[in-house]
Amino acid sequence: MNPGAKWGCKRLRHLCDVNPARPQATPAPSQQVAFLPMERIGDRGKLDCELLIDYGAANSGLTVFQNGDVLIAKITPCFENGKGALCQDLPGGYGVGTTELHVLRPRSNLDARFLYYVTTSAEFRVAGVGAMSGAAGQKRVPDDFVRDFRCLIPAALEQHAICTFLDRETTRLDALIEKKERLITLLEEKRAALINRAVTKGLDPSAPLKDSGFPWLGAIPTHWKTRRLKYVSSFVTSGSRGWADHYSDDGPIFLRIGNLTREGIDLDLSDIQRVQPPPGAEGERTSVNSGDLLVSITADIGSVAVVPDNLEPGFVNQHLALVRLRSALVSPRFVGYALRAPSLQTQFRLALYGGTKQGLGLEDVANLLVTLPPLSEQVRIVVHIDSAARRIGAAIAKTREQIAKFQEYRTALISAAVTGKIDVRGSTEA
| Cα–Cα separations (whole angstroms), residue 34 to 88, 104, 362, 368 | 11, 18, 42, 42
Could you please state the CATH topology (level 3) that the domain comprising 225-372 is classified under: Adenine-n6-DNA-methyltransferase TaqI; Chain A, domain 2 (3.90.220)
C-alpha to C-alpha distance for 49 and 70, rounded to whole angstroms: 15
| pLDDT tens column, 367-418 | 999 999 999 999 999 999 999 999 999 999 999 999 999 999 999 999 999 9
- Chain-centroid distance of CA 241 in Å reads 27
Query: Is 74 in contact with 128 (CB distance < 8 Å)?
Result: no
Burial track 400-428 (b if 16+ CB lie within 10 A, e otherwise) = eeebeebbeebbebbbbbbbbeebbeeee
Nearest to 81 by CA among 72, 89, 92: 72
Kindly state the DSSP code that residue 396 receives in the 8-state scheme. Answer: H
Query: Is 44 in contact with 174 (CB distance < 8 Å)?
Result: yes
Domains 3-153 and 225-372 share a fold: yes
pLDDT score recorded for residue 358 = 79
| Cα–Cα separations (whole angstroms), residue 177 to 162, 170, 409, 410 | 22, 10, 11, 10
pTM: 0.85
Sequence spans of domains, the chain: 3-153, 225-372
| pLDDT tens column, 307-348 | 999 999 999 999 999 999 999 999 999 999 999 999 999 999
| pLDDT tens column, 241-281 | 878 788 888 999 999 999 999 889 999 999 999 998 877 65
- What dotted CATH number matches 3-153? 3.90.220.20
pLDDT score recorded for residue 428 = 54
Q: Which helix (H) or strand (E) holds 119?
A: helix 112-120
